[in-house]
Amino acid sequence: MPASSIARPHPSPLPWARVRGVAAASAVVVFLGSAIMAPFSMTGALADGGAAGFERQAFTAGAASEQAVDVEVPAVDTAKAAAAVPGGAASGALYTLEEFMFSGVVNWGGYKFTYYSQQVLPGSGLDIPGRHVNEGGFVSDADGYLVLAGSAPKGTVYETPFGAPGKIYDRGTTGNHLDVYIR
């Protein structure tokens, strides 16, 4: 047989395989050893006043001679505040018409309030005795109830965050969603 056709075994990668295996095992030992020993090294570093020049901190509350923060809230006359805002809300209102229109939706008392302009349904479109626009800009009936649209029976009264209770006069929403008629 010719010398070139003799099959020689390929040099074995065995020495490098051993080196990689030893390196991987060493890395695992270092990693696990660090993880296992970490709690002990931290307690040792902080015990007895600390190590390496670190001092232990302690927080204690001392008696204060005077109040550091003013927690008093000045009283506000809501009637004067509402009167000061043109088109402001009635006494006891949490939202003015302008605030309501700016936000578009008010979630209050478990209800979702949106607004609906009476200009869409002017005049006698609804049978509302004494229908008028109150000083806050909300459409009201003769008894001062705000005009609401909802799925409850007509005549149902709801508390509102707009300074007066409202009464259902129209349809157009469902569930806890109420439309409030505005100017």
Report pLDDT digits (tens) over 46-95.
555 555 555 666 767 666 666 666 666 665 554 444 444 444 445 688 99
CA distances from 95 to 29, 67, 87, 89, 100 (A): 67, 34, 11, 6, 6
Highest mean pLDDT among 90-99, 126-135, 172-181: 172-181
Which of 40-49, 88-97, 114-123, 163-172 has the lowest average pLDDT?
A: 40-49
**Which residue has 């008093």 as its token pair?**
72
Contact 155, 168 (CB under 8 A): yes
DSSP conformation letters of 8-35: PPPPP-HHHHHHHHHHHHHHHHHHHHHH
| pLDDT tens-digit map of 95-119 | 999 999 999 999 999 999 999 888 8
How is the chain split into domains, by residue range?
A: 87-182
* Inter-residue long-range contacts of 163-172, CB under 8 Å, 24+ positions, other chains counted: 163/82, 163/89, 163/90, 163/91, 163/92, 163/93, 163/136, 164/90, 164/93, 164/134, 164/138, 164/140, 167/141, 169/126, 169/127, 169/128, 169/141, 170/121, 170/126, 172/116
The pLDDT of residue 87 is 41
Which of 8-12, 49-53, 110-114, 158-162 shows the lowest per-residue confidence on average (mean pLDDT)?
49-53
